[in-house]
């Protein structure tokens, strides 16, 4: 089956929330192929520890592509210890200019507790203005909900969980089986 004929993989919503000295990245567990749920318990949020540095990352898109990017990010972090921004920019530059990496179809949300970034294959390293960011099929729903909840007394994890629940209620490619990782500033 040619790539154009292959029904697209859907089913990822990842949110990153920074509030009260903590960053939480949460992701749902659904993977769909066309209109069929293939798996409901995928783990799309990971903790990385390159060179003793603690980083959390969530990914949307192709799993194999995301793992390739996470491995590259770990190498960049090992080369630039304690400098998530620099490692993220170096990864984005490679992703944008390397002919092999250009074919990768994924996006990442990463944080070391101090900084929170979205990294894309277009060469972007984006820091959210309102301390909330989201990617994937239900990303816009989770982002809107998360931004609305930021002015409440809820902490970062509660905001992430509620925003993901709202996204799961709206987006057919998102479920409520979450993986949640927290990191302190």
Per-residue model confidence as pLDDT tens digits over 87-99 = 999 999 988 887 7
- Assess contact for 14 and 58: CB atoms under 8 A: yes
Taken in order 138, 179, 11, 88, the sign of the CA dihedral is: positive
Residue 11 banded pLDDT, cuts 50, 70, 90: low
Residues 15, 163 contacting (CB under 8 angstroms):
yes
Average pLDDT for 118-138: 93
Supply the pTM of this predicted model. Answer: 0.91
Is residue 12 part of the annotated active site? The answer reads yes
Give 32-77 pLDDT, tens digit per residue: 888 888 899 999 999 998 877 899 999 988 788 888 889 999 999 9
Q: Is the pLDDT of residue 157 over 60?
A: yes
- What is the spatial distance between Cα 128 and Cα 143, in angstroms, rounded to a whole number? 10
Say if residue 3's pLDDT is above 80: no
Name the region of 93 (left: φ>0; alpha: ψ -120 to 50; beta: rest). Answer: alpha
Domain spans, the chain = 9-184
CB 146 within 8 A of CB 17: yes
pLDDT computed for residue 145 by the predictor: 98
Cα separation, 161 vs 167, in Å, equals: 10
Q: What is the architecture, at CATH level 2, of domain 9-184? A: 4-Layer Sandwich (3.60)
- In the set 12, 13, 133, 174, the catalytic residue is 12
On whether the CB atoms of residues 36 and 11 are closer than 8 A, the answer is no
Six-digit token pair at 47? 């903790």
Q: How far apart are CA 164 and CA 14, in angstroms?
A: 8
Please choose, from the candidates 52, 36, 30, the residue with its C-alpha nearest in 3D space to the C-alpha of residue 164. Answer: 30
CA 39, CA 54: separation in Å to the nearest integer? 28
**CA–CA distance, 52 with 168 (Å, rounded to integer):** 35
Question: In which band, very low, low, confident or very high, does the pLDDT at 10 lie, cut at 50, 70 and 90?
Answer: low
């Amino acid at each position: 089956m040619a790539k154009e004929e292959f029904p697209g993989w859907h089913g990822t919503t990842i949110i990153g929330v920074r509030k009260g000295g903590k960053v939480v990245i949460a992701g749902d567990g659904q993977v769909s192929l066309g209109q069929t749920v293939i798996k409901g318990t995928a783990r799309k949020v990971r903790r990385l520890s390159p060179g003793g540095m603690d980083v959390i990352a969530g990914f949307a898109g192709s799993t194999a592509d995301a793992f390739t990017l996470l491995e590259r990010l770990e190498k960049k972090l090992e080369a630039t210890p304690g400098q998530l921004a620099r490692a993220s920019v170096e990864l984005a530059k490679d992703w944008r200019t390397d002919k092999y990496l250009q074919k990768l179809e994924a996006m990442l949300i990463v944080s070391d507790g101090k900084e929170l970034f979205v990294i894309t294959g277009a060469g972007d390293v984006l820091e959210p203005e309102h301390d909330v960011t989201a990617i994937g099929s239900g990303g816009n729903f989770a982002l809107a909900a998360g931004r609305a909840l930021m002015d409440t007394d809820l902490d970062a994890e509660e905001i992430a969980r509620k925003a993901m629940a709202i996204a799961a209620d709206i987006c057919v490619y998102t479920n409520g089986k979450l993986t949640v990782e927290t990191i302190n500033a």
